[in-house]
A and B are shown apart, each in its own frame.
Chain A
Amino acid sequence: MTLAASNRSPILRVAMSRDDLMMRLGVVLFAVVLLVIVGLPLWSLLAKAFEDRDGKFVGLANYVSYFSTPALFDSALNSLHVAAVCTLIVVPLAFFYAYALTRTVLPVRWLFQGISLIPIFAPSLLPGLALVYLFGNQGFFKGALGGPIYGFDGIVIAQIFYCFPHATLILVTALTTADARLYEAADALGASKLRVFFTVTLPGAKYGLISAALVVFTMVITDFGIAKVIGGNFNVLATDVYKQVIGQQNFSMGAVVGMVLLAPAAIAFLVDRVVQRKQVALLTARAVPLIPKPKLGRDLFFTAFCTVVAAGILVILGMAAWGSLIKYWPYNLSLTLANYDFTNFDASGWDSYFNSVEMAVGAAVFGTTLMFVGAWLNEKTREFYLMRGIVQFLAFLPMAVPGLVLGLGYIFFFNAPNNPLNFLYATMGILVVNTVAHFYTVGHLTATTALKQIDPEFESVSASLKVPVWRTFGRVTAPICLPAILDIAIYLFVNGMTTVSSVIFLYSSDTKLASVAAVNIEESGATAVAAALCIVIVITSAAVKTLHVLADRFLLGRLQAWRRR
């Protein structure tokens, strides 16, 4: 009797607790926020590309005219060409550098690691400026390249500097996760060093290599500052967007170019997702970390290699710093601080610098809160799969969207007269929101990873003890994740200081940022002043990062005694 009855018993619907209800509300709210700061601006951009200058729907007309204008279409090819060449150079370079950092015994390893990160703290403008000093029409080594630096060569060299740390970081991670036991097995089988490299090391770093290649490719295609400074007449997609929007005020065509720019970035992103998904299975094995043993010949070779690369980075940074201190290049090489008196060159003077700091702090505070709480809501809410899926998608979207494209979307969305959020336009607020949105994915991923690493049963325990879930968030989850929270905040601060591409359309005279001011000043020909501004940015973000590292090492250890065994 019971069997027959049970088969017909209805599917059970479980009542929601107050916690469940609140968390679901939170997820919905969070989804709305992401929709406003990511989804809708992109949607506006998409729509704009189908309108003429007066806002009338013209179907594909803009796209037709884009592809039938050779000058515009050539830029797309140029972009692909530069990106491909940079990827082919940066990835091997970064791979050997990362290999040296993780698999050989380097003297002052920390220094080499630190130097490789320097470019992260600089606006992309900086390598461009340094190259102008080195190889420009009045440069030290002009003609050394057998042609003018402006154009393809300049862009490639500057991009190598700019992309190098990002590729290195990814590859260091990929090489650190190697399993020492594989090497022992290969050794025991008597495989030659070269064979071990090709059969164990390279395949082990395969996903890292693919990921690094995609990141470099996307960065080069979407970066704006370098092409702007050193591109000369060599047009690329990113400069085209800028010219269409700022130069010709042709927003529709700007939107079309933006969409074209979006395509390779989005494809690269999708490929990366597929690759990453495969990697997860690989990492679940219980690996034994590999600790390199000294070996003279190899260590000497890689020390030399790293020294050359590090020197290259330092020369570019040093050149920009030196240039910023010189009275009148190249005629009067005596040193001066006059170039740091920005009031003489730009109406906003030092204000732009303080705007930048204000914006970066704002982005760090607002962004970290949003990212961590949002990731927590999305991770810990029970069931509610559809909404959580939507949130996950929206949180991943910014990774695939170049800054320029997002910035354009912001103009169209927030500047629309009928948008109730219109008041945000041309305020510091919109710059903060835009920066948070632009860098959303990495912060979200960092938070999610940290949350996945803590015991999934904390919430179950709280529920059984009748403790509301937000209390466990405040007393347990957030404190445990403090290192990740700080990482996100610093990441946002540094990127807020250096970003150019997405905010270049959004500032007003009161809210001009240092990185944007540097672009404007460079445009007016005052290279030394632009370099000075870049150096101030580097010093600020590097100082904050150094503080973070020190705090992490000394302060956090003391505050979080529970981590010690």
Chain B
Amino acid sequence: MSHLEVRNLSKRYGDFTALGDISLDIAEGEFVCFLGPSGCGKTTLLRAIAGLDPQSSGTIHQKGRDISALPPSKRDFGIVFQSYALFPNLTVVDNVGYGLVSRREGKAAVGRRVTELLTLVGLPDAGPKYPAQLSGGQQQRVALARALATSPGLLLLDEPLSALDARVRLRLRHEIKALQRTLGVTTIMVTHDQEEALTMADRIVVMNQGAIEQVGTPQEIYRRPATAFVADFVGSMNFLAGTLVAPDKVKVDGFTFDCTAQDGLAPGAKVALCIRPEDVRVRDLPTDIANRVAVEVAELDFVGAFCRATLKVQGTADVAMTADFSSNLIRDLGVELGRKLDVALPPDRLRVFAA
């Protein structure tokens, strides 16, 4: 059974629709990321699930219980805000134990639980300190420990890592993910960082303008984006404007490319033919390979581990695409500006979207 069932959820602010008819299921123990550009409604959806800013219409069930109209205090969740919202005048111990004290557990029991939680998040000695005396990453872990203290069934994280610098963020990604796996707590994390979502989530919910664009595993989202928006938002993608001439053929400025059969689109439709830069093949092309084109290297940008090349397709006016070449490849093939070479676009890596 799913842990959370969201049905036809809408949220309006006056005339503005912040969320339009969202339906979503989240399985027990799953780690789900809400991913999308700024202002797309991720936080709004999270806060509706928490009951902090209730939806205008629609229902939410948690473990089969209808919580749609319950106030936050009657729901079962722990939450970490972007600001952490740690109580500055309470020590770390008191912050983490904040929700335990009111539950009439013995002082000793609370103390044990707090120690256990602090060890869990890797801060066994931070107890007597005040939040202002901790680094950002440490504060974030205390906030996590506080949210987990009451063993909630659902953990909500609103951009928990966005206030941290890049290194700390990388480390905490793994720590949070590992912690979540150990505890098995169903978790929703809001983020606008696609890398964060791809590395941490079991499933990603890509949102845009108050609607869900696609729900899927990181692999699915990256490999088979359902819409042009997802294709563009997650990872890099080349968009070549063309026309569908047969169910599995797209014509781009005189060239016809083979692709997988498209059943949603009628021949003659204007489409975008998409390929990721790393999927452009250069090495060891068999002579009869599909979608072979001659290109000229027009730009070459060093990006660190690889170079991103802009390739102009020969025999077209202005069709160009980017491709990622490893340093090895550049050396072996002697790739440089102005160099002409043949590349292939593997049909199973091509995506076609209505334009």
Interface residue range, chain B: 35 or more
For residue B36, CB closer than 8 A to chain A, the reply is no
In contact, A463 and B73 (Cβ under 8 angstroms): yes
In contact, A467 and B98 (Cβ under 8 angstroms): yes
Q: Mark the stretch among A1-9, A173-181, A218-226, A314-322 that contacts chain B.
A: A1-9
In contact, B71 and A460 (Cβ under 8 angstroms): no
Majority secondary structure of chain B interface residues (helix, strand, loop or mixed): loop
In contact, B83 and A561 (Cβ under 8 angstroms): no
In chain A between 445 and 476, which residues have their CB closer than 8 angstroms to a CB of chain B? 455, 457-458, 460-468, 471, 475-476
In contact, A6 and B8 (Cβ under 8 angstroms): yes
Within the assembled complex, what's the spacing in Å between the Cα atoms of A380 and B137? Answer: 29
In contact, B72 and A560 (Cβ under 8 angstroms): no
Q: Mark the stretch among B26-34, B50-58, B162-170, B302-310 that contacts chain A.
A: B50-58
Q: Mark the stretch among B85-93, B241-249, B258-266 that contacts chain A.
A: B85-93
List residues of chain A with CB within 8 A of the CB of B73.
Answer: 17-19, 463-464, 466
**Chain A min CB distance to B262 (Å):** 25
In contact, B99 and A10 (Cβ under 8 angstroms): no
Within the assembled complex, what's the spacing in Å between the Cα atoms of A17 and B55? Answer: 17
List residues of chain A with CB within 8 A of the CB of B10.
Answer: 6
In contact, A12 and B71 (Cβ under 8 angstroms): no
In contact, B85 and A460 (Cβ under 8 angstroms): yes
CB-nearest residue of chain B to A19 = B73
For residue A296, CB closer than 8 A to chain B, the reply is no
In contact, A466 and B99 (Cβ under 8 angstroms): yes
Within the assembled complex, what's the spacing in Å between the Cα atoms of A479 and B88? Answer: 10
In contact, B58 and A476 (Cβ under 8 angstroms): no
Mask, B207-227, CB within 8 Å of A = 1, is 000000000000000000000
Within the assembled complex, what's the spacing in Å between the Cα atoms of A98 and B280? Answer: 68
In chain A between 250 and 289, which residues have their CB closer than 8 angstroms to a CB of chain B? none
For residue A564, CB closer than 8 A to chain B, the reply is yes
Within the assembled complex, what's the spacing in Å between the Cα atoms of A14 and B58? Answer: 12
Q: Beyond A468-B102, A479-B89, is A565–B133 a contact (Cβ under 8 Å)?
A: yes
In contact, A15 and B70 (Cβ under 8 angstroms): yes
Within the assembled complex, what's the spacing in Å between the Cα atoms of A5 and B87? Answer: 44
Within the assembled complex, what's the spacing in Å between the Cα atoms of A155 and B26? Answer: 75
List residues of chain B with CB within 8 A of the CB of A20.
Answer: 71
In contact, B54 and A14 (Cβ under 8 angstroms): yes
Q: Beyond A12-B55, A20-B71, is A464–B50 a contact (Cβ under 8 Å)?
A: yes
Within the assembled complex, what's the spacing in Å between the Cα atoms of A131 and B19? Answer: 69
For residue A189, CB closer than 8 A to chain B, the reply is no
Partner among B71, B90, B131, B146 whose Cβ is within 8 Å of the Cβ of A17: B71
Q: Mark the stretch among B114-122, B147-155, B340-348 that contacts chain A.
A: B147-155
Within the assembled complex, what's the spacing in Å between the Cα atoms of A463 and B21? Answer: 27
For residue B130, CB closer than 8 A to chain A, the reply is yes
Within the assembled complex, what's the spacing in Å between the Cα atoms of A329 and B51? Answer: 74
List residues of chain B with CB within 8 A of the CB of A464.
Answer: 50, 72-73, 75, 77-79, 99, 147, 152
In contact, A6 and B50 (Cβ under 8 angstroms): no
CB-nearest residue of chain B to A564 = B132
List residues of chain A with CB within 8 A of the CB of B71.
Answer: 14-17, 19-20, 463
Within the assembled complex, what's the spacing in Å between the Cα atoms of A10 and B56? Answer: 9
For residue B68, CB closer than 8 A to chain A, the reply is yes
List residues of chain A with CB within 8 A of the CB of B99.
Answer: 464-467
Within the assembled complex, what's the spacing in Å between the Cα atoms of A471 and B132? Answer: 22
List residues of chain B with CB within 8 A of the CB of A461.
Answer: 79, 81, 85, 98, 146
**Chain B min CB distance to A457 (Å):** 4
List residues of chain A with CB within 8 A of the CB of B54.
Answer: 12, 14
List residues of chain A with CB within 8 A of the CB of B23.
Answer: 2
In contact, B72 and A460 (Cβ under 8 angstroms): yes
In contact, B57 and A12 (Cβ under 8 angstroms): yes
For residue A293, CB closer than 8 A to chain B, the reply is no
**Chain A min CB distance to B142 (Å):** 12
CB-nearest residue of chain A to B149 = A465
Q: Beyond A15-B69, A19-B73, A480-B89, is A466–B150 a contact (Cβ under 8 Å)?
A: yes
Within the assembled complex, what's the spacing in Å between the Cα atoms of A561 and B91? Answer: 10
**Chain B min CB distance to A20 (Å):** 6
In contact, B79 and A460 (Cβ under 8 angstroms): yes
For residue A11, CB closer than 8 A to chain B, the reply is yes
List residues of chain B with CB within 8 A of the CB of A17.
Answer: 71-74
In contact, B56 and A11 (Cβ under 8 angstroms): yes
For residue A563, CB closer than 8 A to chain B, the reply is yes
**Chain A min CB distance to B4 (Å):** 15
In contact, B132 and A455 (Cβ under 8 angstroms): no
Interface residue range, chain A: 35 or more
Within the assembled complex, what's the spacing in Å between the Cα atoms of A17 and B147? Answer: 20
**Chain B min CB distance to A303 (Å):** 38
Q: Beyond A20-B71, A457-B81, is A562–B150 a contact (Cβ under 8 Å)?
A: no
Q: Beyond A6-B8, A9-B57, A466-B102, is A563–B72 a contact (Cβ under 8 Å)?
A: no
List residues of chain B with CB within 8 A of the CB of A564.
Answer: 132-133
For residue A13, CB closer than 8 A to chain B, the reply is yes
**Chain B min CB distance to A477 (Å):** 9
In contact, B147 and A12 (Cβ under 8 angstroms): no
In contact, B89 and A476 (Cβ under 8 angstroms): yes
CB-nearest residue of chain A to B152 = A464
Q: Beyond A9-B58, A17-B71, A17-B73, is A460–B87 a contact (Cβ under 8 Å)?
A: no
Q: Beyond A6-B58, A464-B50, is A12–B69 a contact (Cβ under 8 Å)?
A: yes
In contact, B21 and A455 (Cβ under 8 angstroms): no
List residues of chain B with CB within 8 A of the CB of A16.
Answer: 71
Mask, B125-145, CB within 8 Å of A = 1, is 000001111000000000000
Within the assembled complex, what's the spacing in Å between the Cα atoms of A432 and B130? Answer: 40
Within the assembled complex, what's the spacing in Å between the Cα atoms of A464 and B30? Answer: 20
In chain B between 82 and 117, which residues have their CB closer than 8 angstroms to a CB of chain A? 83, 85, 87-91, 98-99, 102-103
In contact, B87 and A561 (Cβ under 8 angstroms): no
List residues of chain B with CB within 8 A of the CB of A565.
Answer: 132-133
Within the assembled complex, what's the spacing in Å between the Cα atoms of A257 and B118? Answer: 68
In chain A between 517 and 561, which residues have their CB closer than 8 angstroms to a CB of chain B? 560-561
Within the assembled complex, what's the spacing in Å between the Cα atoms of A457 and B158? Answer: 12
**Chain B min CB distance to A534 (Å):** 41
Within the assembled complex, what's the spacing in Å between the Cα atoms of A11 and B71? Answer: 16
CB-nearest residue of chain B to A2 = B8
Within the assembled complex, what's the spacing in Å between the Cα atoms of A234 and B91? Answer: 63
Partner among A9, A18, A455, A462 whose Cβ is within 8 Å of the Cβ of B83: A455
Interface residues of B (CB under 8 A from A): 7-8, 10, 21, 23, 50-52, 54-58, 68-75, 77-79, 81, 83, 85, 87-91, 98-99, 102-103, 130-133, 146-147, 149-150, 152
Question: Across chains A and B, which 10 residue pairs bring their CB atoms closest together, nearest first?
Answer: A465-B99, A17-B71, A6-B8, A463-B72, A457-B85, A562-B130, A14-B54, A463-B73, A9-B57, A476-B87
Interface residues of A (CB under 8 A from B): 2-3, 5-6, 9-20, 455, 457-458, 460-468, 471, 475-476, 479-480, 560-565
Given A12-B68, A561-B130, 17 additional A-B pairs, CB 8 A? A2-B21, A9-B8, A11-B57, A12-B57, A14-B54, A455-B81, A460-B81, A461-B79, A463-B72, A464-B50, A465-B149, A468-B102, A475-B90, A562-B88, A562-B91, A562-B132, A564-B133
Can you spell out 13 A-B residue pairs with CB atoms less than 8 angstroms apart? A2-B7, A5-B8, A6-B21, A15-B70, A15-B71, A458-B85, A461-B81, A463-B72, A463-B73, A464-B50, A464-B99, A466-B99, A479-B89
